[in-house]
Chain A
């Protein structure tokens, strides 16, 4: 279900009404069901992976901390996985809809239409679950440290295994094919027909952080499978983040929430502003960017430069718009999610940029990759190496393609370069012209990174870089629509004022009529933007 779809705006009020009517424990039950409905709307089979991930990390978390599972804690995940295999993969729900129009009436049809080959998954899931139970029983007798290491390894390998199978398998096979072809060995098409489940990188990272934090004794394992399942699947941030830490989100899910007028109104504003970013700016720019990046000729360096700047705003508005809506929806339920973007294009250096852009991923990579690698504790060269490795893996997290690796290398290179330069600069000026120059200069470097990110091939990167370098031949053959530019102007003005004020809610200092005019402009441009062809949120594919 997309945040900018009619379905979501029918789904959300129903969830909110139920949420307000129910008591805390039932709120969590309802939210879990709603989250599965929200995610299953894309493809019900994807839910099986969520349940598997939930079951593994729930069990591993308890085994790391306590070294044993109660019968309830053993059978809960086991039955959940088997049930998910049958319910989400084996049964052919579409057969029930076409025949009966209502799923329950046609359950027998779903059962008999499933085909025997589809029952292999539940059988395999049962086998693996029983083996898992056996491992847990045997591991209870292991020394504590060994046991803890075993289960954190199981958690990491399982999560990365799911990610590798669904996201990186075809990338690997494509490169094997290419290597065979380069060696003159004819190979059959090796790639597999795998559908990438939306948001898989987000929830696998989120659940992994849970077990790692328990292993590091930074938090306690949760004993309630249902609450943990809600932490994994909480629908506002499930498919495109923010990647929440269990230590932040789980306690909010475990205790009753209080909804205030302030929180509710802030939530509404975040939803509207997120929609504005997505619908009025990102979707409006998408068409123009696609026209340049999909062009077959007849474009100049000017087109490439403007389209790349447009893409910088498109990807920012697309992703931060989603995060804003996610935070807004969570706020309507009294739950605060972390802020994922903090005016990133006002950064003056790469390290500042990564503290403002996709903050939840940056912090994840810092805590679970960069620091374990040694961070900046072992001298300059190892620091550069660690930065580069972190950024390359961060690039690869975004997608299984070489241009993401190149983008990661570029970002790692920028970090190293700025670090080396800053060590030699002893005085730092904060005068307005210097700050403006630094900000614009770093924005230009960021934009070139986006060219690497957006390009469809290495050939395109080379060709576009050549066009950019030929400044004398720059011209413009097209531009985004006027209403998109108006929306962009409003966004830039808003963020500039926020940056200058240093407070998120600066608008509330303004007279009421002026605020009314601002909100009306935003709503008006959303109305116009709804006619833009809705592009899927870019980060869903990650």
Chain B
């Protein structure tokens, strides 16, 4: 697009007046390396190595090995941990009601993550006969929600059980711990589900299931090795480069490179759940998710409870609905799909933090009540 022919003050790339000599090039390389070392040392001296809270701290320290971060957190004083140590552990729900306060009321037990909690919290405002038992974890994937539901089956008298399924965290079904697959500084563990040769849903339970066990394993090399070995064998996101504590932890530049490597690894594993148009319906992730919702419906009915599945399509591909609807319909499990209420391709349905707006949460909650026949 150069219709006119005026000249510019272009400078030539083939400027032959300056011909670098290999000796000079070597000196430049040495000076470059020296400055890189200087930058590295300067960052090491100015940025505290155990914090993830500020922008610069997060930038330079989130590439610490998972093991290093974990050990630092376990060794820190209460309230000073860079990681979320005490949240999300399965079974630690003593503050939640186990029965409705009034016989005329309905207790709804909800398992999932922030999306399902936000919708569940709208239910009492739409139906004052509803009370809530909310169970979940920060950024919890479906395997955490389902394992929590299974663990909780004998602990309450809820009439309705709700399972939240979030599209963006569905690929984390192949993980056993948030440290291996996100930059969310949460430590809690959860089982990995798989389908065995007889087409049955099976679980690999984590060898460390409480924060106390994690603390004790940090001082017990054998227990720690068992933990790491389990992640290596069963956590699809585990990478020794990201996990194991080593010399890279002592260099800021090595840490930012490890962070980049970790993100690439994460994206690669995650991509295995996707095809060209969204979730690959033949992938392990979708197959296990289908088995989970099927099992959720079966066991809830076995317990005399009403199951409800809420599908949160929060990614632009918008096809969690396509992946799970056939199973839910086939087994007549009541469900609500956010896709029908708030297509994720419409940016106006989201808040800046990528949660649905309160108005959409309320609409999903209303649809949930309708699905429950209330």
Chain B residues positioned under 8 Å from A105 (CB to CB): none
Is B239 close to A, CB under 8 A? no
Q: Whole-angstrom distance between the alpha carbons of A195 and B275 in the complex?
A: 14
Contact, CB under 8 Å: A415 / B260: no
Is the pair A376, B253 in contact by a Cβ cutoff of 8 Å? Answer: no
A265: which of B13, B20, B55 is its contact (CB, 8 Å)?
A: B20
A528-B4 in contact (CB<8A) = no
Residue from the list A342, A415, A513 in contact with B10, Cβ < 8 A = A342
Contacts A504-B13, A516-B35, A524-B39; A411 near B1 (Cβ below 8 A): yes
Cross-interface CB contact of A365 among B2, B13, B19, cutoff 8 Å: B2
Chain A contacts for B39, CB-based, 8 A: 520-521, 524
Q: Counting CB contacts under 8 A, is A58 at the interface?
A: no
For residue B347, which residues in chain A have a CB less than 8 angstroms away from its CB? 294-296
Q: In the complex, what residue of chain A is closest to B27 when comparing beta carbons? A: A512
Minimum Cβ distance to chain A for residue B277 (Å): 9
Given known contacts A355-B8, A483-B59, A512 and B3 CB-to-CB distance under 8 angstroms: no
Bound form: Cα–Cα A46–B158 in Å? 56
Instruction: Pick the contact of A523: B13, B22, B34, B36 (CB < 8 A).
Output: B36
The answer to whether A517 has its CB under 8 Å from any CB of chain B is yes
* B-chain residues with CB within 8 Å of residue A481 when the two chains form the complex: 55, 59
Interface presence of A170 (CB below 8 A):
no
Stretch at the interface among A237-245, A387-395, A464-472: A387-395
Task: Take A294-B347, A519-B32, A523-B32 as given contacts and tell me if A352 and B8 are in contact as well, using a CB distance cutoff of 8 Å.
Answer: yes
Q: Is A188 an interface residue (CB 8 A)?
A: no
Q: Is the CB of B2 within 8 A of A355?
A: yes
Which residue of A294, A499, A512 contacts B31 across the interface (Cβ within 8 Å)?
Answer: A512
Cβ contact within 8 Å between B24 and A356: no
- State how many angstroms separate the Cβ of B1 from the closest Cβ of chain A: 4
- Which residues of A, 476-527, contact B by the 8 Å Cβ criterion? 481-483, 498-499, 501-505, 508-509, 512-513, 515-517, 519-521, 523-524, 527
Q: Is B11 part of the binding interface, using a Cβ–Cβ cutoff of 8 Å?
A: yes
CB neighbors of B among A354-380 (8 A): 354-356, 358-359, 361-363, 365-366, 370, 375-376
Interface residues of B in 241-289 (CB under 8 A from A): 253, 256-257, 259-260, 263-264, 276
The verdict on B348 contacting chain A, using a C-beta distance below 8 Å, is yes
The answer to whether the Cβ of A252 comes within 8 Å of any Cβ in the partner chain is no
Inter-chain contact A533/B8, CB cutoff 8 Å: no
Name A508's closest neighbour in chain B (CB-CB): B18
Interface membership of A530, Cβ < 8 A = yes
Asked if A26 CB lies within 8 Å of chain B CBs, one says: no
Highest count of chain A CB atoms <10 Å: which of B16, B28, B33, B253: B28
Query: CB within 8 A of B36: which of A266, A391, A503, A520?
Result: A520
- In the complex, B6 has a CB within 8 A of chain A: yes
Contacts A366-B1, A482-B55, A528-B256 given: A512-B350 contact, CB under 8 Å? no
| Interface membership of chain A positions 189-232, coded 1 if the CB is closer than 8 angstroms to chain B and 0 otherwise | 00000010000000000000000000000000000000000000
Q: Is A10 an interface residue (CB 8 A)?
A: no
Chain B residue at minimal CB-CB distance from A342: B10
Q: A351-B3, A419-B4, A519-B28 are in contact. Are A503 and B264 (CB under 8 A)?
A: no
**Would you call A287 an interface residue if the criterion is a C-beta within 8 Å of the partner chain's C-beta atoms?**
no
Within 8 A of A (CB), among B342-364: 347-348, 350, 352
Report if A520-B253 is in contact (Cβ < 8 Å); known contacts: A351-B6, A394-B1, A512-B28. Answer: no
Judged by a CB distance under 8 angstroms, whether A186 is at the interface is no
Contacts of B77 in A (CB 8 A): none
B46 part of interface (Cβ distance < 8 Å): no
Measured between beta carbons, the chain B residues less than 8 angstroms from A352 are 6, 8
Q: A342-B10, A533-B263 in contact; A516/B15 too (CB < 8 A)?
A: no
- How far is the CB of B187 from the nearest CB of chain A, in Å? 22
- Assembly CA distance A444 to B256 (angstroms): 35
Q: How far is the CA of A170 from the CA of B4 in the complex (A)?
A: 34
**Are A531 and B259 in contact (CB-based, < 8 A)?**
yes
In the bound complex, what is the Cα–Cα distance between A383 and B3 (angstroms)?
A: 9
CA distance in complex: A519, B36 (Å): 9
Cross-chain contact of B3 among A386, A499, A521 (Cβ < 8 A): A386
- Chain B residues lying within 8 Å of A24, measured Cβ to Cβ, are none
Q: Contact partner of A528 among B19, B31, B59, B348, CB < 8 A? A: B59
Query: Which residues of the partner chain B approach A354 to less than 8 Å between Cβ atoms?
Result: 1-3
- Interface presence of B103 (CB below 8 A): no
A262 part of interface (Cβ distance < 8 Å):
yes
Judge whether A261 is part of the interface by a CB distance below 8 angstroms: yes
A288 to chain B, nearest CB (A): 13
Q: Within 8 Å of chain B (Cβ to Cβ): is A29? A: no
A residues 326-352 in Cβ contact with B at 8 Å: 327, 336, 339, 342, 351-352
A504:B12 contact, CB within 8 angstroms: yes
Instruction: Give the docked Cα–Cα distance between A513 and B256 (Å).
Output: 25
Query: Are A415 and B25 neighbours in the complex by a CB distance under 8 Å?
Result: no
Q: A512-B24, A523-B36 are in contact. Are A530 and B1 (CB under 8 A)?
A: no
Question: Closest CB of chain A to B347's CB: distance in Å?
Answer: 5
Q: Is the CB of A524 within 8 A of B1?
A: no
CA separation between A363 and B7, bound complex, in Å? 13
Q: A184 near B: Cβ within 8 Å?
A: no
Which of A358, A361, A375, A503 lies in contact with B11, CB distance below 8 A?
A: A503
CA separation between A195 and B8, bound complex, in Å?
Answer: 39
CB neighbours (8 Å) of B18 from chain A are: 505, 508-509
What is the distance, in angstroms, from B26's C-beta to the closest C-beta of chain A?
10
Of A356, A383, A387, A527, which is within 8 A of B8 by CB? A356
Q: Does A298 contact B (CB under 8 A)?
A: yes
Judge whether A6 is part of the interface by a CB distance below 8 angstroms.
yes
Q: A352-B6, A394-B1, A415-B3 are in contact. Are A524 and B11 (CB under 8 A)?
A: no
Contacting residues, chain B, for A524 (C-beta < 8 A): 36, 39, 253
Q: Which residue of B lies closest to A511 (CB)?
A: B31
Determine the chain B residues whose CB is within 8 A of the CB of A363 once the complex forms: 2
- Minimum CB distance partner of A383 in chain B: B3
Tell me the minimal C-beta distance from B284 to chain A in angstroms.
14
User: In the bound complex, how far is the Cα of B22 from the Cα of A355, in angstroms?
Assistant: 35
Residues of B within 8 A of A533 (CB): 263
Contact of A515 among B4, B31, B352 (CB under 8 A): B31
- Are the C-beta atoms of A504 and B2 separated by less than 8 Å? no
| Contacting residues, chain B, for A339 (C-beta < 8 A) | 10, 13
Q: When the two chains form the complex, which single residue of B10, B11, B14, B27 contacts A336, counting CB atoms closer than 8 Å?
A: B14
Tell me the B66-91 residues at the A interface (CB within 8 Å): none
Complex Cα spacing A195 to B276, Å: 10
Give Cα A366–Cα B187 distance, bound, in whole angstroms. Answer: 61
Report the separation of the CA atoms of residues A509 and B31 in the bound assembly, to the nearest whole angstrom: 16
Q: Return chain A residues, CB-CB under 8 Å to B14.
A: 336
> For residue B21, which residue of chain A has the nearest CB?
A261
Q: Is the CB of B31 within 8 A of A296?
A: no
> Nearest Cβ distance between residue B89 and chain A, in whole angstroms?
29
User: How far in angstroms is the closest Cβ of chain A from B65?
Assistant: 16
Cα separation A262 to B22 with both chains bound (whole Å): 9
Q: Which of A297, A483, A513, A527 lies in contact with B257, CB distance below 8 A?
A: A527
Kindly provide the distance from the CB of B63 to the nearest chain A CB, expressed in whole angstroms: 8
A516:B34 contact, CB within 8 angstroms: yes
Chain A residues lying within 8 Å of B32, measured Cβ to Cβ, are 516, 519-520, 523
- 9 inter-chain pairs at a CB distance below 8 angstroms, sorted by A residue, are A352-B8, A355-B2, A356-B8, A375-B3, A415-B3, A483-B59, A512-B28, A520-B34, A531-B259
